[in-house]
Structure 1
Amino acid sequence: MTAEANPPDLIPAPRAVENGAGGGFAPDARTTLYAGAGTGSTERWLRSVVGPALGLPLPPGETENAENSLTLLVDDNLEPEAYRLEVVGGRGIEIRGGSGAGVFWGAQTLRQLLGADSFRRAPIGSGAVHDIPAQIIEDGPRFSWRGMMLDVSRHFTHKTDVMRYLDLLAAHKLNVFHFHLTDDQGWRIEIKRYPRLTEVGSWRSRTKWGHRFSELWDDKPYGGYYTQDDIREIVAYAAERHITVVPEIDVPGHSQAAIAAYPELGNTDVIDTASLSPWETWGINPNVLSPTDNTLRFYEGVLEEVLELFPVQTSPFIHIGGDECPKDQWKQSPTAQARIAELGVGDEDGLQSWIIRHFDTWLTARGRRLIGWDEILEGGLAPGAAVSSWRGYAAGIEAAEAGHDVVMCPEQHVYLDFRQDGGPDEPMPIGYIRTLEDVYRFEPVPPGLSPEAEAHIIGTQANVWTEVLQERSRIDYQVFPRLAAFAEVAWSRLPASPERDYADFERRMATHYRRLDALGVDYRPPGGPLPWQKRPGVTGFPREGAPPNV
């Protein structure tokens, strides 16, 4: 066995790597695992995931740092998510973390050091593990919010595939899963007091095949939802991997599936809401919630069950959407106009702001924080609310300067459903071209912010909308390998965007592709789509030129 050269090909890149003394260390069947207090989740993960991949039983160790051992320790001297991994030549490995999460991220680094076969589900070949060179890796994240949003409303993702994505997030040291559960095309979470939300709202009679301009349809009924026990399972699975789950319940727009289930939620004085069904196509839907007390009470009931399913320990933030809410029906609705006059909020933007503020107050009283898309700034925003800045940097800058926490997720940079290349073979091409290098050069903190505002940029997030991502392989193709580049942006303390060493990242990706292969990820190869990844003849919606940097 020969030692690999330093520095290791790690993704995301660590803060510091120092060569150690002596030879390497290779775990074997006799290697013990000592897990100190607070490291139980990492101990379970190593024994259930990494150990079986390499044929390592990892029996319990009686003392820390014994000969031929792996030691896990919480060290209060480190920042909560930071870790220190030391490979002692010929002896063993120690991982110290500032918390259980820090230890877990250190274990993710160890998995990469062990080689691509550690990403498999069972051992292959002789089972021999290569030497890991003696070294010390000291590392910690740049941002506390390192997330990915998955839209399961347009196309449903089975719970087993959701948990697979939680594993993929963890492998890249991403720690927030934004769970987009409701939209016009489908309501995906069981609410026991309102059973029609899933009986009616989770199924549509057919689905547009391709972009909304496509003339093709998939004529079979489509749908699915998560039972409350499914949600509990997903949340528990995420918590074991130190991932926060942020559920999204969309109000007051993107609500046709809910209105189809309970027509009284819509603007009944403008349209026949009883004739609506979950939307079969894509775009911005005109059918929005009516601003009545009944609507508020209904969604309070929904959120009461949501809070029970997503405990505050694992889900301190609740996302309420707030984006793309056309005001046309409110302008035509006597009920909405009377409400505007009654509340003295001035106009329809003020009415939406009143709805958002209502739920901000409601959630705050229950120990949660509201977060919404940047449209929630329109008409004024409650002081404690946070903002997902998706329409560029401008709204995020405005929010941060006003003292609101901000998650930067501008569509121009980190919408992973956007096409990766301008070639004709890209499947159902959507949006602007965002290459692997483009994502790698994304900078979440815009220049010129005051120090106080910069402190309010709590992190960044990549968003995955699924209008044209019908199944797992399509999601994989759009997300990877770009999520690896995004993970490095979110975790590593990189130089300013133009100075980042993309050539070095690309070199490390040559190793990382083997890890993705072992995990069974259907990523886009560097040379372009494979024959079965293309979708000839299915219309997309490519946008030309450089995306606006706003």
Structure 2
Amino acid sequence: MIPRPHLLNELSGSFELTAGAVVSGPADLVDAVRVALPVLDLRPGDSGEIALREDPALDAEGYRLVSGSRGVEIAAGGRAGAFYAAQSLRQLLPDAAFRTAGRASWPVPGVRIEDSPAFSWRGLHLDVARHFFPKREILRLIDLMAAHKLNRLHLHLADDQGWRVESRAYPLLHEVSSHRPRTATHYYREPETYDDIPHGGYYTLDDLAEIGAYARARAVTVVPEIDVPGHASAILAAYPMLGATGEPYEVLDRWGISPAILSPLPPTVEFLTAIFDELIGALGDTPYVHIGGDEVVLDHWTSSPEISAYRDSLGLATSNELQAWFLRRLADVLAERGTRAVVWDEAFVSGGLRLDTLVMPWRGMNVGRRAAAAGHEVIATPVFPLYFDYAESASADEPMAIGDTITVADVAAFRPAPEEWAEEERARVVGAQAQLWTERVADARTLDYRMWPRACALAEVTWSGAAGPDFTARLERHLGRLDALGVEYRPLAGPHPWQRRRPHRPSVVDVEQVMARIDAMTHDAESTRPSL
């Protein structure tokens, strides 16, 4: 099974589970099991082959499952626990149980499983700003996450290269900012080339409502991200008056960091407040909103007399302090709506965050440790080994990637809460999340190739706490389930012929070079941060 349960004992006895079998118990638990096992076409009833009960002594995501000659008995701490028990039951069945149409009956072996997750945040990030993925692909990704007990889908909805959600308050965002005339196609550090093909798309608010409801039914929480104040070219293409200079912008057609930056003045806070209200209203139960805070070029703030005067009026000395104030102001807006802010680690380094803000240390676990020591909850997101836009080998056969190499084994060896950390620091690591940035991921087939089976290793690490010694053998067995689900994953031995790269392969950046640069950026663990 993947992820590995905390306890799995084989028992004597087995039974045949038939399509249309009856599942009994509390209505919300019954609904969760039926959603998790659609191929069985389960029917609710007063008694049946699958019996459910709620056990308040278990964690909300925890469960016990016992199968034998009399059927299946499940005790769950809540709806999520029942859903995960059903996913474990699904993995006890033949691979055909992962297809949309199956056989009339299924053999269920006798087992006892006792299980709960090691971490509460078990996430995947998908950048839909650089390349847009239609709603159907988001729903499919949620299904794949649910099958692996992953529970946080972080959608990167806004960046220099595109804005991806309808706004009724600011309609030019989806009318103007959601598309670009062309897209860069060159490898990293090559001369610039473009495809001259328009690219775009956005989710309506009704789409977001559907995505949110679909995810909740599968124990997945959607975390929307509006990355500010930098990465703002697309926003400013629609509303240049929200920028630091007022100059016109276009939706960016190349990759890399842009100097485009939102103004920190009150109209920008009003704008983002309206956007947050639309996101929260559409998604429904939205406990987290990511506000970015990464890779911000502050030059336009520093050179603006109006922004400098505003900074002085707040009693702040530098543009870095103003950025910290701005992000805290947005976090306060979210807190008033019952939602917690999430940021990339640069926002923590700038200082002044609300203590309830979650920090994602993408530049390495050293800055994550500093955030945990300061009292923040931390979601481990380091480039190595959790950036899935890196190639899985240095082979010339690999399709275009930002660099080499992050393997399945690298992900499986990762520890979100390093043993050398102090106990209180480890306790503040709430989980881990893999990032798929999509500059070089233009379609769903490439998404599958980059995401799987590395995400299987992430699921094991975040659910079980560490990959088991037999993980590789279980993964090889698990690939049959991915085949049944129609996942075009990267084979463990290397890409299929049709998955291979285009003929030209220039030198790319090695992940060790990237990590060396990141270490240089974050080496001073004792660096002071401004207090507000």
Query: Which range, TM-score by smaller chain?
Result: over 0.9
Query: Aligned partners of 1:469, 1:239: CA distance in 2, in Å?
Result: 27
When residues 132 and 297 of structure 1 are mapped into structure 2, their CA distance, relative to the original with a 3 A threshold, is: same
Tell me if structure 2 keeps the 8 A contact 1:213–1:539.
no
1:121 equivalent in structure 2:
100
Query: Aligned partners of 2:448, 2:507: CA distance in 1, in Å?
Result: 20
Query: Aligned partners of 1:309, 1:393: CA distance in 2, in Å?
Result: 34
Give, as a single letter, the amino acid of the residue that structure 1 aligns with 2:224: P
1:450 equivalent in structure 2:
422
Give, as a single letter, the amino acid of the residue that structure 2 aligns with 1:153: A
Select the residue among 390, 411, 428 that pairs with 2:383: 411
1:449 Cα offset (Å): 2.5
2:7 equivalent in structure 1:
16
Q: Does 1:258 align with 2:235?
A: yes
2:144 equivalent in structure 1:
168
Tell me if structure 2 keeps the 8 A contact 1:114–1:129.
no
Tell me if structure 1 keeps the 8 A contact 2:165–2:205.
yes
Q: Does 1:236 align with 2:216?
A: no
3-state secondary structure, aligned to 2:214: helix
1:30 Cα offset (Å): 6.5
1:27 equivalent in structure 2:
17
Query: Aligned partners of 1:40, 1:258: CA distance in 2, in Å?
Result: 44
Unaligned 5+ residue runs, structure 2?
520-532
TM-score, length of structure 2 as denominator length: 0.93
1:379 equivalent in structure 2:
350
Give, as a single letter, the amino acid of the residue that structure 1 aligns with 2:289: I
Question: Identity of aligned pairs, percent?
Answer: 43
1:227 Cα offset (Å): 0.5
Render the CA deviation track for 1:48-76: whole Å, top value 9, x for unaligned.
x231xxxxx4333322xx5xx11222211
Render the CA deviation track for 1:182-210: whole Å, top value 9, x for unaligned.
11111001110100001000010101124
When residues 165 and 376 of structure 1 are mapped into structure 2, their CA distance, relative to the original with a 3 A threshold, is: same
1:483 equivalent in structure 2:
455
Query: Aligned partners of 2:350, 2:480: CA distance in 1, in Å?
Result: 49
Tell me if structure 2 keeps the 8 A contact 1:154–1:183.
yes
Unaligned 5+ residue runs, structure 1?
1-9, 52-56
Give, as a single letter, the amino acid of the residue that structure 2 aligns with 1:160: R
3-state secondary structure, aligned to 1:468: coil
Give, as a single letter, the amino acid of the residue that structure 2 aligns with 1:50: V
Query: Aligned partners of 1:297, 1:205: CA distance in 2, in Å?
Result: 30
Render the CA deviation track for 1:297-338: whole Å, top value 9, x for unaligned.
111111121221133xx3211110111101222232222322
Render the CA deviation track for 1:369-407: whole Å, top value 9, x for unaligned.
111101111331222211111110022111110111111
Q: How does 1:62-461 map to 2 (within 5 A)?
A: 62-63=46-47, 66=48, 69-88=49-68, 90-123=69-102, 127=103, 129-211=105-187, 213-214=189-190, 215-268=192-245, 273-274=247-248, 276-311=249-284, 314-380=285-351, 381-461=353-433
Equivalent residue pairs, number: 514
1:531 equivalent in structure 2:
497
RMSD: 1.8
1:537 Cα offset (Å): 4.2
Render the CA deviation track for 1:116-154: whole Å, top value 9, x for unaligned.
10111112xxx2545222110111100011111111000
Give, as a single letter, the amino acid of the residue that structure 1 aligns with 2:139: M
Query: Aligned partners of 1:105, 1:30: CA distance in 2, in Å?
Result: 20
Q: Which moved more, 1:387-396 or 1:324-333?
A: 324-333
3-state secondary structure, aligned to 2:430: strand
Tell me if structure 1 keeps the 8 A contact 2:414–2:466.
no
Query: Aligned partners of 1:293, 1:38: CA distance in 2, in Å?
Result: 44
Tell me if structure 2 keeps the 8 A contact 1:430–1:540.
no
2:480 equivalent in structure 1:
514
When residues 146 and 489 of structure 1 are mapped into structure 2, their CA distance, relative to the original with a 3 A threshold, is: same
3-state secondary structure, aligned to 1:390: coil
Tell me if structure 2 keeps the 8 A contact 1:37–1:74.
no
Q: Which moved more, 1:383-392 or 1:467-476?
A: 383-392
Tell me if structure 1 keeps the 8 A contact 2:415–2:466.
no
1:493 Cα offset (Å): 3.3
1:54 equivalent in structure 2:
none
Tell me if structure 2 keeps the 8 A contact 1:245–1:315.
yes
Tell me if structure 1 keeps the 8 A contact 2:19–2:104.
no
3-state secondary structure, aligned to 1:24: strand
Query: Aligned partners of 1:306, 1:32: CA distance in 2, in Å?
Result: 38
Give, as a single letter, the amino acid of the residue that structure 1 aligns with 2:89: L
1:282 Cα offset (Å): 0.7
3-state secondary structure, aligned to 2:18: coil
Query: Aligned partners of 2:465, 2:109: CA distance in 1, in Å?
Result: 24
Select the residue among 32, 44, 51 that pairs with 1:60: 44
1:539 Cα offset (Å): 5.9
Tell me if structure 2 keeps the 8 A contact 1:41–1:241.
no
1:265 Cα offset (Å): 1.2
1:77 Cα offset (Å): 1.9
When residues 531 and 377 of structure 1 are mapped into structure 2, their CA distance, relative to the original with a 3 A threshold, is: same
When residues 344 and 451 of structure 1 are mapped into structure 2, their CA distance, relative to the original with a 3 A threshold, is: same
2:524 equivalent in structure 1:
none
Tell me if structure 1 keeps the 8 A contact 2:18–2:106.
no
Render the CA deviation track for 1:493-549: whole Å, top value 9, x for unaligned.
337xxxx51xx1111112111000111111111121112212314667732263449
